[in-house]
Amino acid sequence: MSRVVKLAVIPGDGIGPEVVAEAVKVLDAVTAGSGVEFEKTPFSLGAARYLETGDTLTDADLAAIGEHDAILLGAVGGVPGDPRLKDANIERGLLLKLRFELDHYVNLRPSKLYPGAAGPLADPGDIDFVVVREGTEGPYVGNGGSIRRGTPHEVANETSVNTAYGIERVVRYAFSLAGRRRKKLTLVHKTNVLVHAGGMWKRIVDAVASEHPEVDVDYLHVDAATIFLVTNPSRFDVIVTDNLFGDILTDLAGAVTGGIGLAASGNINPDGAFPSMFEPVHGSAPDIAGTQKADPTAAILSVALLLDHLGLTDEAARVTRAVEDDIAGRDATPRSTAQIGDAIVDRVQA
Amino acid sequence: MSRVVKLAVIPGDGIGPEVVAEAVKVLDAVTAGSGVEFEKTPFSLGAARYLETGDTLTDADLAAIGEHDAILLGAVGGVPGDPRLKDANIERGLLLKLRFELDHYVNLRPSKLYPGAAGPLADPGDIDFVVVREGTEGPYVGNGGSIRRGTPHEVANETSVNTAYGIERVVRYAFSLAGRRRKKLTLVHKTNVLVHAGGMWKRIVDAVASEHPEVDVDYLHVDAATIFLVTNPSRFDVIVTDNLFGDILTDLAGAVTGGIGLAASGNINPDGAFPSMFEPVHGSAPDIAGTQKADPTAAILSVALLLDHLGLTDEAARVTRAVEDDIAGRDATPRSTAQIGDAIVDRVQA
Ligand SMILES: CC(C)[C@H](C(=O)O)[C@@H](O)C(=O)O
Ligand SMILES: CC(C)[C@H](C(=O)O)[C@@H](O)C(=O)O
């Protein structure tokens, strides 16, 4: 008897379709003959769809996506400054809407410096940590507004909304992850300035910590955390942080581990009430779209996170190992998006 | 006839007094015989004062400080976790209160990789940019609160308040600075998520840009900006950004240019209605306080910014050159705080 996994595939804009094509190749290769069948439904969403139809994400889209077991997303977003997209906000209307509506409260972003990957640090040391970024609250909630827009008296507010409910669940996830790793958890916030939100994060981490005596806990202000990410990234194991700080730290972490072309992520609803969504951290890079210059590695590593999430841990490990071996063998010879994908498929099959 | 400058000196906590002692030595050396006399008034403020008296910054303190032409500050803040400071927030109650009450709307933070300074990047290139961080608005305003504190139903909000008035004045300052430098200005924000505040920043930068055709303008999301700070910091000349993003970017910038021990800053009220305040970016580092291990360079470079602000540009340049020469001559031999200060004094006098 074979298990069927219903996978929604959102290739998106720019380089999205190219990297997703390779990710799907790898997914097919690693699950061939495994008894697990991925039934894929493509969804045409993103700037291109918006330009055609004026829709960003309809209720019908959302309902249809919600019927799936998981989602694989490439990248969404049009050419910056495109006047036809002036009134669109693909990021808020599509990507963030999916994360919020599907209650992706864990935004999981591993950062690992693979042997052979070239980062900007002279002496990086071993880098292997995971950022657990809260995905459904904080400054991302969209509770902002302005008055007297466009006048010299304009005032624009943005409210970060934080709940004990929302923080506790992601903090618990982070502790349990740390317990399965090197047992070190770092809370990153800015408690000395954002005293109410930061204070609540701190209190909840302290409370959950008492249930996890095996996990070592420390705290860093977000500004100090960026310093350590470039001077001593080995000090981190699991970082738990809010939506905005997590956004910033994970781009920086991607850069120090060899570039955003390698950084994968999962938008996870651990309760299983909604499908989780896996996507590279990078954007749609419209400037190189269609040129086969994009590195599909981040999308392929997102497939490994997807497999892991589905409990297909052997398959996940095979993908990760294939990527690791591919990276270790890289030299200056340029390869197309498809060539990198094919090379990783070969290693998966070997 | 000699000019008298009334300088308020706030040594503060931890390593603050040690680094300020060296900064004052250098200030005295460079102004000796210049016809400018610095009349210094020490203010005992910080965690130590709070523990003694329970006061953080009284109205009388503020009024007295306000009578001065400028302020030199070391660092404030007690030992993290000190239970006696549980209810104090020295950062908000003292440092941020000074910035807000004295309308320090330009938080000026130059980042330069001096020859000889060892940063973490393998291939840093030339780094020489200035972050113009807004100092009186944004998520720092303290407009937050919580309900049901300590219960599972707690909600904590933090509101970022942004005004056209506040943004326009700092943006104008940044453009005029860029015009006197390499004529490149980068706005950093997160317009795709914080659409109201970000949108206003973007519109105001675009409007002021039209008055400065000589300045090249670009925009980066804050997450992308952190990537460029480690992969291509030479691309930056002047960065203008909000209070929180500026806090994060300048710590990272300090790290990539050889450490926070070299990073100086000015909290400036360009209108001259209030005294401007100059301080190293680093904190009070209570763990090494009193050991003469702190590097006073950031405090000394803050004196250069102070001199510049007062129009004493020759004296400022002499301090900067002395620091540059000192850094270029550094080797692994450890020097005490006072030895570094003395060496820079010698160079200033040479
Ligand atoms: C595109 C943008 C809204 C998004 C975010 O800020 O979360 C992106 O930067 C990311 O990190 O996935
Ligand atoms: C101490 C803290 C409130 C302060 C800030 O966040 O502005 C510090 O980090 C700085 O950058 O000067």
* 0.85 exceeded by pTM: yes
- Residues B226, B252: contact at Cβ < 8 Å? yes
**B199 interface with A at CB cutoff 8 Å:** yes
- The closest ligand to the CA of A133 turns out to be 1
Residues of A tagged active-site: 140, 190, 223, 247, 251
**How much is the mean pLDDT over chain A?**
97
List, for residues A154-191, the tens digit of each pLDDT value.
999 999 999 999 999 999 999 999 999 999 999 999 99
Domain-wise residue ranges, chain B? 1-104+283-350, 120-256
- Residues B62, B101: contact at Cβ < 8 Å? yes
CB contact under 8 A, B222 and A248: yes
- Alpha-carbon distance A180 to nearest alpha carbon in chain B (angstroms): 26
Which residues in A lie closer than 8 A to residue B85 (C-beta atoms)? none
pLDDT classification of A81: cutoffs 50, 70, 90: confident
List, for residues B137-186, the tens digit of each pLDDT value.
999 999 999 999 999 999 999 999 999 999 999 999 999 999 999 999 99
Which residues in B lie closer than 8 A to residue A203 (C-beta atoms)? 150
Nearest atom in ligand 1 to A251's CA? 11
CB contact under 8 A, B260 and A227: yes
Which residues in B lie closer than 8 A to residue A193 (C-beta atoms)? 91-92, 96, 139-140, 244, 247
Q: Which residues line ligand 1 (CB under 6 A)?
A: A 91, 95-96, 247, 281; B 192-193, 223
List, for residues A237-277, the tens digit of each pLDDT value.
999 999 999 999 999 999 999 988 999 999 999 999 999 99
Q: Which CATH number fits domain B1-104+283-350: 3.40.718.10, 3.20.20.70, 1.10.3720.10, 3.90.245.10?
A: 3.40.718.10
**B193 interface with A at CB cutoff 8 Å:** yes
pLDDT classification of B64: cutoffs 50, 70, 90: very high
CATH class of A120-256: alpha beta
When mean pLDDT is compared across A90-94, A301-305, B202-206, the lowest value belongs to: A90-94
What pLDDT score does B320 carry?
Answer: 98
What pLDDT score does B80 carry?
Answer: 86
What pLDDT score does A80 carry?
Answer: 86
Whether the per-residue pLDDT at A47 is higher than 80: the answer is: yes
What pLDDT score does B1 carry?
Answer: 55
What pLDDT score does B283 carry?
Answer: 93
Mean pLDDT, to the nearest integer, of B61-65? 98
Mean pLDDT, to the nearest integer, of A136-149? 98
Mean pLDDT, to the nearest integer, of B208-219? 98
Helices first, then strands: H and E counts in chain A: 12, 12
Whether the per-residue pLDDT at A1 is higher than 70: the answer is: no
Chain B stretch 166-185, residues whose beta carbon is closer than 8 A to a beta carbon of chain A = 168
SS3 string, chain B, reads CCEEEEEEEEEECCCHHHHHHHHHHHHHHHHCCCCEEEEEEECCCCHHHHHHHCCCCCHHHHHHHHCCCEEEEEECCCCCCCHHHCCCCHHHHHHHHHHHHCCCCEEEEEEECCCCCCCCECCCCCCEEEEEEECCCEEEEEEEEEECCCCCCCEEEEEEEEEHHHHHHHHHHHHHHHHCCCCEEEEEECCCCCHHHHHHHHHHHHHHHCCCCCCEEEEEEHHHHHHHHHHCHHHCCEEEECHHHHHHHHHHHHHHCCCHHHCEEEEECCCCCCCEEEEECCCCCHHHCCCCCCCCHHHHHHHHHHHHHCCCHHHHHHHHHHHHHHHHCCCCCCCCHHHHHHHHHHHHHC
**A150 interface with B at CB cutoff 8 Å:** yes
**A234 interface with B at CB cutoff 8 Å:** no
pLDDT classification of B312: cutoffs 50, 70, 90: very high
**Higher-confidence position of A259 and A327:** A327
What pLDDT score does A227 carry?
Answer: 97
Q: B1-104+283-350 and B120-256 share one CATH topology?
A: yes
The β-bridge partners of A71 are: A8, A277
> So what's the architecture of A1-105+263-350 in CATH?
3-Layer(aba) Sandwich (3.40)
Whether the per-residue pLDDT at B291 is higher than 80: the answer is: yes
